[in-house]
């Protein structure tokens, strides 16, 4: 059984590596710190929009909530996908293709992201307690929890997008060959 599981795991890792290699060839003109930082700001703004949408959930007009939530989700998710492509393997899960520097970056931002996510979950818990006795308090707490959970999961990619130096063009050309 363990050999079947190990073979399955190897196939999954191979699939992830192939996907990463495909993404590494995308958007070559965008692989600068300036573009990554712009996308990091857009993702953070999308996250803040989700939190703002959760704050107005069931407290006013439904169209305000819908407009804020949907626009924030579309803008933030689009920028997040682009940022994940630009930060490469470091923002992904498991990759055997990481060098020591990339592995160090990934571990560092993963730890920071976990810490921030933990604090955001505490904030969601406090918000849930504060709105528990209000009308639709459970729904409002759940919406804030989901907004802060999405925000927390984007933090490592935002940090990588902001902090990574420009790619070396020679390394990128070697990867294209």
Quick one: 62 exposed, middle or buried, by C-beta within 10 A (0-12, 13-18, 19+)? Answer: exposed
Could you give the CA distance from residue 45 to residue 71 in angstroms, rounded to a whole number? 11
Sequence-distant contacts of 123-130: CB under 8 A, at least 24 apart: 123/148, 124/148, 124/149
Residue 72 included in any domain? yes
pLDDT at 100: 81
pLDDT at 175: 47
pLDDT at 171: 54
Q: Which residues are within 8 A (CB) of 141 and not within 5 positions of it... i.e. 6 or more apart?
A: 124, 127, 128, 131, 132
Residue 25 included in any domain? no
Tell me the average pLDDT of the chain: 85
8 Å CB contact between 61 and 91 = no
Could you give the CA distance from residue 41 to residue 57 in angstroms, rounded to a whole number? 24
pLDDT tens-digit series, residues 113-137 = 999 999 999 999 999 999 999 888 8
Neighbours of 97 (CB within 10 A): 14
Residue 60 included in any domain? yes
Residue 36 included in any domain? yes
Reduced to 3 states (helix: H, G, I; strand: E, B; else coil), residue 97 is coil
Domain of residue 80 covers 31-88+99-172
Residue 69 included in any domain? yes
State how many domains the chain has.
Answer: 1
Residue 7 included in any domain? no
pLDDT tens-digit series, residues 98-115 = 778 888 888 888 899 999
Query: What is the pTM for the complete model shown?
Result: 0.81
pLDDT at 113: 92
């Amino acid at each position: 059984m363990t050999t079947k599981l190990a073979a399955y795991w190897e196939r999954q890792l191979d699939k992830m590596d192939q996907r990463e290699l495909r993404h590494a060839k995308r958007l070559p003109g965008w692989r600068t710190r300036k573009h990554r930082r712009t996308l990091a700001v857009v993702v953070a703004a999308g996250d803040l929009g989700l939190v703002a949408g959760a704050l107005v959930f069931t407290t006013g007009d439904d169209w305000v909530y819908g407009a804020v939530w949907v626009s924030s989700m579309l803008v933030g998710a689009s920028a997040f996908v682009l940022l994940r492509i630009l930060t490469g393997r470091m923002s992904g899960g498991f990759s055997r293709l990481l060098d020591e520097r990339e592995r160090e970056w990934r571990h560092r931002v993963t730890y920071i992201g976990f810490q921030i996510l933990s604090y955001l979950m505490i904030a969601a818990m406090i918000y849930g307690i504060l709105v528990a006795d209000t009308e639709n308090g459970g729904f409002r707490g759940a919406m804030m929890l989901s907004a802060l959970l999405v925000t927390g999961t984007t933090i490592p990619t935002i940090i990588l997008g902001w902090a990574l130096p420009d790619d070396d063009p020679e390394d990128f050309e070697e990867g294209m060959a």
